[in-house]
Structure 1
Amino acid sequence: MSAPDSSRGLASGRLGVWAIVFFVMSAAAPLTVVASGAPLTVMLAGVGGPGAMLAAGVVLMVFAVGFTAMTRYVRDAGAFYAYTTEGLGAPVGSGAASLTTFGYTALLLGFYGFVAFFAQVTADGLFGLDLPWAVWGLLIAAFVGFLGYRQVDMGAKVLMVLLTAEVVLLLALSLAVLVQGGPEPLSLAPLSPSNWLTAEGAGGLFVLGFGAYIGFEGTAIYAEEARDPERTVPRATYIAIGFLGAFYAFTFYCFIAAFGVEGVIAAATPEGFADLPFVWADTYLGTSAVKVLQVLIVTSFVACLIAFHNACSRYLFSLGRSGLLPAGLGRSHPKHRSPYVGSLALSAVSVAALLLTAVAGWDPYLDLGLKSYGTGVVAIVAAQALCALAVLAFFLRDRRGHSPLRVVVAPVLAVAGLGAGLFLILTNFTVVTGYTGFVNGLLMVLPAIAFVLGVVWYVARPPTPEAVEEETPAA
């Protein structure tokens, strides 16, 4: 094989464990998950949210056991694509690439709708700055695009600041409840299986539960840019899932304790559930905390956008380098070693989506936000399940010295758990989007269409031998 072209590779050795952790945890957007998910879970199914968050985390931790075992054998910025190709073959891998790229792009566009909406409301309410939502969306898109174009560690530093701020606020709110005490005695009811496994509406809890972790799989995306990836990627994955699981369960529990088990159920009405996080902040930390919460909800979405923009641009880079997409997408910046062509393409798509939404008179939250987010969650959970199956197939052919527990039993359990999670999401899809009927059906089908198109594209136009040779080889 000829010497690798530096323009076809990313900057190696730039990211340590914590830099990767900040990327994937920011993609999960913990503040927005708690602020929106905690009251919604109560309205949908009572107080079982903390237990459901832990259960989803356990399933994903089991998935991570086999997923991270492949790190030493496959290092590629298109992790799901590369892993699925190794395990299930190139046509299915191409389908997984299309499915994952669709999912990440849909999530990216959905978060632009959310952040534009909240930025307008927050800027007007707190600072009297009344600008159209589209202006905020475009300004944020320019900022995210700038970071995506530059070195990957620059984005990690920004995420470190933003993520730390939102985590500190939520911990302060939670600890304030425990120190000051709520209106009712503390209860273990939120962790009881009768409230998160068998309760009416429990399926809706797992829609939000699995959606809350979306982005954790991004640890493997950065393997090519990580220092000592055989150690860095598994550690970052376990830290991210473990922290998110414990953090979600703890903060959801403290949210419930802030009102009491009976009180929170009474307060979480369709008319007032969305205001409960602000009531929580005002009651336990004062009006200043409410203002900080409003600002950090916006910055949490910005952090999420940075993380997803980075992840998706690396998928485009990997697919361009492998020949599945135009080769130009597989070029890295000569100075920054970033996937700058893919980043620019994503920025263009994001700006186009914001402008289309504005010109068409659509609502940024309901139309661009919820619809894109809903179909994106389906796509990524389906890609996770497919990847778990690929990991199982890969190691069934040769365990490569790993124990059966890690590379056979864990992937089998992951396939079962993620398959069940996908079923719950699809059968409770209106919880995610707020829509019913044809719109919901179309949004659920789009990921399947993306997968089929990826398979067909590969069969009709397989990568050239030269493009395949230029791919990053498995270790």
Structure 2
Amino acid sequence: MTMQTDPPTLRPGPRMPGLDRRNLGPVQVFAQSVSAAGPTAGMAATPAIAASTAGGGTVWSFAIATAVALLIAGCIGQFTRRMAAAGSLYSLAAKGLGPAGAFACACALLVGYTLLVSAGLAGAAIHLHALFGPVGPATGVATVLLGAIVAGCAVKGIRLSARLILLVEGVSIALILAVYGLLLGGTGFEPPGHVPQSGQPPGGVGGVAAAVLPALAAFIGFESAAALGVEARRPFRSVPRAVTWTAAVVGLMHVCAAAFQVSLPGSARLLPLSDIASGQRLPWMAALVDAGIASSFLACALAGANALARVLFSLGTEGIAPRGLCRTHRSHRTPHVAVAVALPVATALPMTMLACGIPAEHVLELLLQASTVGCLIAYLLVCLAVPFFLRGIGEATPGPMARALTVVPVLVLALGAFVASAPSGPFTLAFATLTGAALAWYVWLRRRRPAQLSGIGVYDETSLADVLDPRIPRATSPSDHR
């Protein structure tokens, strides 16, 4: 005798209405993650930082960082192959850590993505100023102009943003690769003026381990495709693949850049790519580097803005943040209110630091370091959620469990090292202020909106409107990730 079961019921409409559902192809989703990681800017500066401690072992430092990024991507994939969300990692962490862990992850993402956008705007402005010199706008003015451009593109539409990101990042990568090719085929390196000196010859196991820290920072933002789960055409395939392939491709690019860096003679390997290009006494080569880095930072800012706006949109949809943040543009179908709130804040941060007299390069360094701390906390929480999530759904297989248990202590050590290496004073005060604000927000939610807090981590699913609309692919079926 067979038992009759009722067919599953469908919601009348999507859980996250208003977004441009199921319109991003795999290449566009991949471009989001690659651009947020800013590989061109990282290739130009990070290998020199790592070489100051790792010396000839710099390549190994980036290889280890790539392995760590791939482990994180594997943990994220345990969620993104099963659910699609606009809240990025915090919506995923909710399925393993519950409301408290998800809220902490959301706050870490807000800090990480906001400062990533700020760093992208500041970095692009700094290198545009270096490129155009006296005829170009001042760094502060350029930051405001770039912020307005990023905000306009973010509101105009995710498909336009993805295409622009792909174009800009592709041009920047091509420019930097061309410079590397010209330098490798050049006649020799002549250091331009002062070359930094290291106190002791770097290298050894300790040096390689210490250099993993800046190498890992070069991957920050590689997971941002997870915020496009609602808008990706086939999210259970394109999102986990984009995150994994970004970790692999960005890692390969940085390993190659590190190999070039350690091939330089003596202390010349401690110089960033722009100074190395200047050492060839060919001004146009240094201009190519500045153009490539500025383009990469701009693409990073736009990709970070896309991810940040969708995290705010998701929090507004759930009632964790003000409801107005979930409003979307009627024609462009983008979270324009979230963009209007986030971009002025992201633009004002570097402007305020510059107005306080902090040198532009130091502003960029502080923003990147603080963004790294926020993103590392989010990575740690989502990886920590994997064992609980898999055990809850009865799929706690050895491979994913071992991956999570391996990467969690590594991230704890990396996070501790980043906090320990951060400058005291304003950095510590800012971190304490943000932590206090997050705790106050959480306490208020528990008292005033307990139902919304307990429901944090909403993910997308097929609705009746999807079934009746032939334009929307069936991307949320359970078999899509197989």
Class of the TM-score when normalised by the shorter of the 2 chains: 0.7 to 0.9
Go from structure 1 to structure 2 and tell me whether the alpha carbon gap of 1:106 and 1:422 turns closer, same or farther (over 3 Å shift): same
Is the Cα–Cα contact under 8 Å of residues 39 and 277 in structure 1 kept in the other structure?
no
Is the Cα–Cα contact under 8 Å of residues 206 and 425 in structure 1 kept in the other structure?
no
**Displacement of 1:105:** 1.0
Aligned to 1:254: 260
Q: Does 1:118 align with 2:127?
A: yes
**Displacement of 1:136:** 0.8
Matches within 5 A, 1:433-452: 435=423, 437-442=424-429, 445=432, 448-449=435-436, 452=439
Query: Among the aligned pairs, what percent are the same residue?
Result: 23
The equivalent position to 2:241 in structure 1, one of 235, 239, 255, is: 235
Is the Cα–Cα contact under 8 Å of residues 82 and 93 in structure 1 kept in the other structure?
yes
Aligned to 1:390: 385
Is the Cα–Cα contact under 8 Å of residues 144 and 305 in structure 1 kept in the other structure?
yes
**Displacement of 1:426:** 2.6
* Deviation sequence 1:292-319 (CA, Å, 0-9, x none): 1122221111111001111111110010
Aligned to 1:267: 268
Alignment root-mean-square deviation, CA: 2.9
Q: Which piece of structure 1 moves more, 76-85 or 438-447?
A: 438-447
**Displacement of 1:3:** 2.9
Name the count of aligned residue pairs: 442
Mapped partners of 1:382, 1:322: distance in 2? 22
Q: Does 1:199 align with 2:200?
A: no
The equivalent position to 2:413 in structure 1, one of 409, 420, 428, is: 420
Mapped partners of 2:279, 2:178: distance in 1? 12
Mapped partners of 1:381, 1:203: distance in 2? 17
1:80 aligned partner, one-letter code: L
> Per the alignment, in what secondary structure is the counterpart of residue 215 of structure 1?
coil
The equivalent position to 1:279 in structure 2, one of 276, 279, 295, is: 276
Go from structure 1 to structure 2 and tell me whether the alpha carbon gap of 1:392 and 1:6 turns closer, same or farther (over 3 Å shift): closer
Mapped partners of 1:251, 1:309: distance in 2? 27
Mapped partners of 1:394, 1:7: distance in 2? 23
Matches within 5 A, 1:285-434: 286-357=282-353, 359-367=355-363, 369-400=364-395, 403-406=397-400, 408-429=401-422
> Per the alignment, in what secondary structure is the counterpart of residue 301 of structure 2?
helix
The equivalent position to 1:43 in structure 2, one of 35, 45, 52, is: 52
Is the Cα–Cα contact under 8 Å of residues 384 and 404 in structure 2 kept in the other structure?
yes
Q: Does 1:19 align with 2:28?
A: yes
Mind listing any 5+ residue stretches in structure 1 that lack a counterpart?
184-193, 430-434
Aligned to 2:169: 163
Is the Cα–Cα contact under 8 Å of residues 86 and 459 in structure 2 kept in the other structure?
no
Mapped partners of 2:84, 2:131: distance in 1? 41
Go from structure 1 to structure 2 and tell me whether the alpha carbon gap of 1:181 and 1:228 turns closer, same or farther (over 3 Å shift): farther
> Per the alignment, in what secondary structure is the counterpart of residue 225 of structure 1?
coil
**Displacement of 1:120:** 2.2
* Deviation sequence 1:200-229 (CA, Å, 0-9, x none): 4x4541221111000111121111111111
Mapped partners of 1:70, 1:412: distance in 2? 16
2:140 aligned partner, one-letter code: A
**Displacement of 1:181:** 8.8
**Displacement of 1:423:** 2.6
**Displacement of 1:117:** 2.5
Q: Which piece of structure 1 moves more, 460-469 or 19-28?
A: 460-469
Output the TM-score relative to the length of structure 1.
0.84
Is the Cα–Cα contact under 8 Å of residues 96 and 454 in structure 1 kept in the other structure?
no
Go from structure 1 to structure 2 and tell me whether the alpha carbon gap of 1:53 and 1:445 turns closer, same or farther (over 3 Å shift): farther
Mapped partners of 2:138, 2:456: distance in 1? 48
Is the Cα–Cα contact under 8 Å of residues 58 and 262 in structure 2 kept in the other structure?
no
Aligned to 2:470: none
Q: Does 1:54 align with 2:94?
A: no
**Displacement of 1:335:** 1.4
The equivalent position to 1:461 in structure 2, one of 434, 448, 466, is: 448
**Displacement of 1:255:** 2.7
Q: Does 1:152 align with 2:158?
A: yes
Mapped partners of 2:353, 2:450: distance in 1? 35
Q: Which piece of structure 1 moves more, 322-331 or 69-78?
A: 69-78
2:62 aligned partner, one-letter code: M
Mapped partners of 1:178, 1:469: distance in 2? 52
> Per the alignment, in what secondary structure is the counterpart of residue 198 of structure 1?
helix
Is the Cα–Cα contact under 8 Å of residues 95 and 454 in structure 1 kept in the other structure?
no
Output the TM-score relative to the length of structure 2.
0.83
**Displacement of 1:339:** 1.2
Q: Does 1:134 align with 2:140?
A: yes
Mapped partners of 1:89, 1:5: distance in 2? 23
* Deviation sequence 1:252-287 (CA, Å, 0-9, x none): 212322x2xxx1x32256xxx34x54424764x954
Mapped partners of 1:135, 1:39: distance in 2? 29
> Per the alignment, in what secondary structure is the counterpart of residue 56 of structure 2?
coil
Mapped partners of 2:204, 2:92: distance in 1? 32
Is the Cα–Cα contact under 8 Å of residues 98 and 451 in structure 1 kept in the other structure?
yes
1:319 aligned partner, one-letter code: L
Is the Cα–Cα contact under 8 Å of residues 159 and 303 in structure 1 kept in the other structure?
yes
Is the Cα–Cα contact under 8 Å of residues 98 and 450 in structure 1 kept in the other structure?
no
* Deviation sequence 1:396-427 (CA, Å, 0-9, x none): 22234x74313x12221221222232233233
Mapped partners of 1:416, 1:470: distance in 2? 25
**Displacement of 1:363:** 3.6
**Displacement of 1:172:** 2.9
Go from structure 1 to structure 2 and tell me whether the alpha carbon gap of 1:445 and 1:197 turns closer, same or farther (over 3 Å shift): farther
Is the Cα–Cα contact under 8 Å of residues 104 and 312 in structure 1 kept in the other structure?
yes
Go from structure 1 to structure 2 and tell me whether the alpha carbon gap of 1:2 and 1:464 turns closer, same or farther (over 3 Å shift): farther
Is the Cα–Cα contact under 8 Å of residues 91 and 458 in structure 2 kept in the other structure?
no
Mapped partners of 2:458, 2:74: distance in 1? 25
Is the Cα–Cα contact under 8 Å of residues 148 and 338 in structure 1 kept in the other structure?
yes
**Displacement of 1:166:** 2.0
The equivalent position to 2:19 in structure 1, one of 10, 15, 26, is: 10
